[in-house]
Structure 1
Amino acid sequence: MADTAATRGSFLRADAGTSTAAPTARWWQALGDPVLDQVIETALTSAPDVQAANARIAQARAGLEANKTALLPTASVSFAVPYVNLPGSILGNSGREEFHAYAPGFDTSWEIDLFGGTRRKIEAASARAEAAQAGLADARVTLSAEIARAYVSLRAKQAVLALTDRQAAIDSDLVSLARQRLAGGTAPEQPLAQARAQLAQTEADRAKTRADIVVLIDQIAVLAGREPGALDALLSAPNAVPLPPADVAVGDPALLLRNRPDIRMAERQLAAANADVGARVADKYPKISFTGLLGTGGQNFADVFKTSSLIGLALPQIKWSLFDGGRVNAQIRSAKGAYAEAEAQFRGTVLKALQDAENSLTRFGGQRIAYGKALDSQAQAARAHALQVQRVQGGTASRSDALTAERQAVQAEMAAISARAELTTDFVAVEKALGLGWAAQAMEEAPK
């Protein structure tokens, strides 16, 4: 499955506006919007989701280091001062003997990893640490895409709000004209009621759009790890809706399989599950360890420093669980089941990644066409308005006709803005599907 995709030279759904050149990791820079660049670059280091992913990496690396220590000997020191009270029956007389004993000691133990169980546990911990590192990259991919989508929507709403203000002014003029015609007896009340309803709807749309703008600004601030309102000064001023480049580099399926952090994460989890199986199999075999003890002792503190009171012990030990009621075999079966689950999840992740890429390319290609048609519609509506103005000037059309044509031109411009925003949003979806949006050093920092 993955091998078949990797051998294809291009995506099935890529259109003429894309190329197989390697895409840029910081894809948002292709939109040419410095404000968007600033917000995303800041968020990639300070957003809560990124910080949480970094914390998971720290946990995984600590677990790896803890597993590595199992290959090394352990040592400890002790110093005991017990109080001893012996009855005469033990001493063979009728008296008792009381004294303090002084017993400093040093002991060490070492389990030899003869059958590789500890090494497989280290391998599993290392794979999980690398999976956590891929999780950080995946968080960055998602975060950059979410911010870009919200930002594009914000700029579209701001542009639509300006046009809604213009539309409200047109609707207000239409109400005035309808009122004058009613008062002059040249028109019934129905056109006035219709014009008033149209104005009320425009004002309702304007109020909702203003609220949407505030919500989007706060959403972007929170995504970037800031409190609501923190980015008002940066984002409140309207700006053009970003537009993707004419030619978009998307690479090929093989590059996708290397770039997508979720695929990397699933592959590392599969490797960890495989190592877990090896660790469980090693439990079937004997464990060999060595324990050593060196110390001194006596009834007086000075005895501690006498070589004659030196005590030493070396104890090799073989431990083999010959009968455990099938516990180890059950653990092996459980580990193999977990491996089968991880393998299925890996396959599913690869398939979903390929589907995401192909679907996003399909939508992006279709929206390119839709945006072009929206621009044509806008141009024709503007032309119709200009012609209607000429007719008014020539006395062959009313001012109401010109206002209606102007309103239609404004609506066509709104539709073009929405189409442009949707095109850029689909571009963002393509970049997210390609697994872009994370700094290259994220994977280079994988634990050693």
Structure 2
Amino acid sequence: MRKTILLASLSLPLAACTMGPDYAGPPVVAGFGQKNIGFVRGGDAVRSESPSLDSWWKTLGDPTLDTLEERALKGSPSIAIAEARLRQARATVRQDRADQLPSGSASASYLHADLPGINVGEAQGSTDSSDETASGDSSTSLDFYNVGFDASWEIDLFGGKRRTVEASRALVTAAEADVADAQVSLSAEVAQNYVNLRDSQHQLSLAREAAQMQQTTLDLAMQRQARGVDSALDIDRLRNQVESSNARLVPLSAQIDSYLNALAVLTGDAPGALDAMLRPSAPVPLPPRSVAVGDPAELLRRRPDIRAAERRLAAQTARIGAADAARFPHLQLLGLLGLGGTDPSDILDLDNLTSVAAPMLQWNVLDFGKSAGRVEQAKGQADEAEAQYRQTVLQALRDAEDALSRYGGRRKQLGGLARAETAATRAATFTRQRYQAGTVALGDVLDSERQRVSAERDLSSAKAELANDFIALQKALGLGWKARD
């Protein structure tokens, strides 16, 4: 036992040796993340101020949306899946830490055996048949009782286990970033479905109004036909417009049901659970006049998928050391204590104590390059993780710039459509006044009303698109998650 302790103490300095490269941080990607570098898109629609990390949807000023977001972040299965994977990663760290410590097990056993007897005459070498007959056969019973404790400890000479723990810790942080990324995606998806729901409800209302005006035009044409003014061809053309307008109401209603079902599922409820709350129409929520976006350096630190990719790169770098350490000798200390005998009382008699201590050194010196292949495989996986990180960073920068460009352009488009809608509304009002004065026909009034409805429909769609562009921008900036303790 003293020799074993001595050998273990001599091995401790060796245990300070850790194979493999030390992680030096993520690579710089095309200057991305440097100071004093801002986004190049968006124009005057954005500010360089740092945005708030979570609850960006509150800037839309819609209490119903706030309620949906809160319910989704608490009850969505997608968040539960990501959190379950985080718990698995943390459990893996505990397992890898435990592998660095000694392991032991206790055992107790009882053995009963019936051994075949030995012929006495045969044992004495006698040839007398009477003696052989008289001797007969006999059997022997044996009972054996034993209790024991065995322990083993593999000393981490070259740091392979430490590198494994290092990789597991990095993957825990990556799993935490995955939870945040799930929150970002979920909050954006809830907001987009809500905006689309409100837009579809408004579009359905406008479509019904347009269908009603076309029906009025048809009724007027039928009256004119009765007086011999309009032809049957005009009536058929108008009737076709009415039928087409009524037919467009059906897919709009189905689309509304689809958005209602999507919002229910996103919040963790069954389809139809939110109908009572969301069936009444409400306007599309509009974003603020300008949006805080920060700079690319903040995006690098804030966006969860970038942080997850960086942590996976760190994990793969640590696994190179684990694979490299496997090429060198393994030292394992084994120990055994046991008490036993043929009587139950023997397991309490310290005189029957048996102890075994056995240090064991293993080194697979003839593996025909298998260990070296594992090291090269680990290096290739680290190179892949680095390339994945670079791709994630560049894609994040592209997402942000695309979203900024769309948002800035949509604001300008919305201004033009708003002016067009105002002009159409003013023209419709003036035409109605002229009709009441008897200077224009009813058909002119209906034409102006159709133009007004069309302009209002275009404006409503543009508002929804602007809101969706704002939501996409928040997602591209990596907003909508809360820091974990």
TM-score normalised over the length of structure 1: 0.95
Matching of residue 155 in structure 1 with residue 198 in structure 2: yes
In the alignment, what sits opposite 2:456? 413
Question: Which of 135, 141, 150 is 1:107 aligned to?
Answer: 150
Which amino acid in the other structure matches residue 32 of structure 1? G
Matching of residue 81 in structure 1 with residue 124 in structure 2: no
State the distance in 1 between where 2:225 and 2:181 align. Answer: 64
**Which stretch shows the higher mean deviation, 114-123 or 190-199?**
190-199
State the distance in 2 between where 1:389 and 1:42 align. Answer: 47
Which amino acid in the other structure matches residue 55 of structure 2? R
Contact 2:42-2:407 within 8 A present in 1 as well: no
Matching of residue 43 in structure 1 with residue 43 in structure 2: no
CA shift, 1:187, in A, is: 2.4
C-alpha distance after superposition, 1:22-76 (max 9, x if no partner): 1122110100111111111111121111111111111111111111101111111
CA shift, 1:349, in A, is: 0.6
1:60-99 equivalences in 2 (<5 Å) = 60-84=89-113, 97-99=140-142
| SS of corresponding position for 2:168 | helix
| SS of corresponding position for 1:436 | coil
State the distance in 2 between where 1:204 and 1:197 align. Answer: 10
| SS of corresponding position for 1:13 | coil
> How many residues matched?
440
State the distance in 2 between where 1:345 and 1:338 align. Answer: 10
Question: Which of 154, 159, 180 is 2:223 aligned to?
Answer: 180
C-alpha distance after superposition, 1:254-297 (max 9, x if no partner): 11111111111111111111111110000011111211111112
CA shift, 1:84, in A, is: 4.5
| SS of corresponding position for 2:341 | coil
| SS of corresponding position for 1:226 | coil
C-alpha distance after superposition, 1:378-408 (max 9, x if no partner): 0111111122223323433111101110111
Question: Which of 326, 341, 344 is 1:298 aligned to?
Answer: 341
| SS of corresponding position for 1:257 | helix
In the alignment, what sits opposite 1:9? 37
CA shift, 1:85, in A, is: 5.3
Which amino acid in the other structure matches residue 44 of structure 2? A
State the distance in 2 between where 1:291 and 1:121 align. Answer: 23
Matching of residue 403 in structure 1 with residue 446 in structure 2: yes
In the alignment, what sits opposite 1:380? 423
Which amino acid in the other structure matches residue 463 of structure 2? R
Matching of residue 32 in structure 1 with residue 61 in structure 2: yes
In the alignment, what sits opposite 1:426? 469
| SS of corresponding position for 1:71 | coil
Question: Which of 215, 235, 249 is 1:192 aligned to?
Answer: 235
Runs of 5+ in structure 2 lacking a partner? 1-27, 125-137
Matching of residue 143 in structure 1 with residue 186 in structure 2: yes
**Which stretch shows the higher mean deviation, 415-424 or 289-298?**
289-298
Instruction: From the CA coordinates, give the structure whose radius of gyration is larger.
Output: 2
Which amino acid in the other structure matches residue 366 of structure 2? F
CA shift, 1:313, in A, is: 1.1
State the distance in 2 between where 1:87 and 1:325 align. Answer: 50
CA shift, 1:194, in A, is: 2.4
Which amino acid in the other structure matches residue 348 of structure 1? Q
Which amino acid in the other structure matches residue 203 of structure 1? N
**Which stretch shows the higher mean deviation, 322-331 or 413-422?**
322-331
State the distance in 2 between where 1:122 and 1:279 align. Answer: 10
Which amino acid in the other structure matches residue 97 of structure 2? K
Runs of 5+ in structure 1 lacking a partner? none
Question: Which of 271, 296, 314 is 1:253 aligned to?
Answer: 296
State the distance in 2 between where 1:125 and 1:335 align. Answer: 15
In the alignment, what sits opposite 2:329? 286
Question: Which of 330, 335, 346 is 2:389 aligned to?
Answer: 346
C-alpha distance after superposition, 1:400-435 (max 9, x if no partner): 101110111011011100000000000000000001
| SS of corresponding position for 2:355 | strand
Matching of residue 369 in structure 1 with residue 396 in structure 2: no
Question: Percent identity among equivalent residues?
Answer: 43
C-alpha distance after superposition, 1:193-231 (max 9, x if no partner): 222222112211222211111111011111111110000
CA shift, 1:9, in A, is: 3.2
CA shift, 1:97, in A, is: 4.7
CA shift, 1:333, in A, is: 1.1
CA RMSD in angstroms, aligned pairs only:
1.7
CA shift, 1:96, in A, is: 6.3
In the alignment, what sits opposite 1:22? 50
CA shift, 1:86, in A, is: 5.8
CA shift, 1:190, in A, is: 3.0
C-alpha distance after superposition, 1:307-327 (max 9, x if no partner): 211111111121111111211
State the distance in 1 between where 2:154 and 2:117 align. Answer: 44
State the distance in 2 between where 1:285 and 1:87 align. Answer: 50
Matching of residue 205 in structure 1 with residue 233 in structure 2: no
In the alignment, what sits opposite 2:281? 238
State the distance in 2 between where 1:339 and 1:125 align. Answer: 15
**Which stretch shows the higher mean deviation, 280-289 or 9-18?**
9-18
Runs of 4+ in 1 over 6 A off after TM superposition: 93-96
Which amino acid in the other structure matches residue 6 of structure 1? G
Which amino acid in the other structure matches residue 324 of structure 2? V
Matching of residue 164 in structure 1 with residue 193 in structure 2: no
| SS of corresponding position for 2:31 | helix
TM-score normalised over the length of structure 2: 0.88
